[in-house]
Chain A
Amino acid sequence: MTESTGGIDFEDEDASGVIKKFMFVNRKAPYGTIYALESLEVVLISAAFDQDVSLAFLDDGVYQIVKGQHTKAIAMKNFSPTYRALEGYDIEKLYVEKESLDQRGLTEDDLLVDVQVMSSAEMAKMMSEQDVVISF
């Protein structure tokens, strides 16, 4: 993910002390399109701004964090281990909608990182409490 920091000017980091609730909403599967990978790049940058960051996984977005991804044969970078590294960036709020898992025949055990599984209703509440929702 080294290119993710390319060009960032850390002097631009907001020094006003404002802490907002940022939620990154992931609803797309990895590899088929680039949204998941580039979303992760934004998430990693956001860690430098000391904001209250969370990630939500709904719909095909849950496939981003499913175990057992091997991308060698498609010659693309397997970025799924990065989700496990988020903890090191103090990004620990990973929310997964239960209904999306159920629809896809997945359970929490199929995921490669510790998450909080919640209902659509709980997800709605969590989303509505955010200051900034960035969706991909």
Chain B
Amino acid sequence: MLHIINKSPFENHTLDSCLRVALNEPGAALLLTEDAVYAASKGNVIESKIVDALGKVKVYALWPDIEARGMQDRVIEGIKMVDYGGFVDLVAEHSNCQSWL
């Protein structure tokens, strides 16, 4: 299942909720979009959560949102970048998707 998150982890618990559920499923993938891409940046208090997630599931981030927010030089290693076409591919490749709004 593809889990889509669009909230900053610094003002919202959505990432925690998503990880609590999604990390139980070996086939899960996480896609960080919009303000959630701040979770893809290193050197902050969230980093360890994402590094932990990377050991269990695939983590992707939407590159247009990374670039828009000036985070392109700070991305945590192991997170795969996708453009909107890649976003479409991820939805197609997984049997279903859940947007953590």
Contact = CB atoms under 8 A, between A and B. Distances in A.
Nearest to B13: A59
Contact of B1 (A27, A59, A120, A127): A127
Interface size class for chain A? 20 to 34
Contacts, number: 46
Contacts of B99: 135
Interface residues of B, number: 17
B93 to A, nearest CB: 14
A125 B1 CA distance: 10
B35 to A, nearest CB: 17
B22 to A, nearest CB: 6
23 contacts: A27-B17, A27-B101, A58-B17, A58-B21, A59-B13, A100-B17, A120-B20, A120-B21, A120-B24, A121-B24, A123-B21, A124-B21, A124-B24, A125-B25, A127-B1, A127-B21, A127-B96, A128-B1, A128-B27, A128-B95, A133-B96, A135-B99, A135-B100
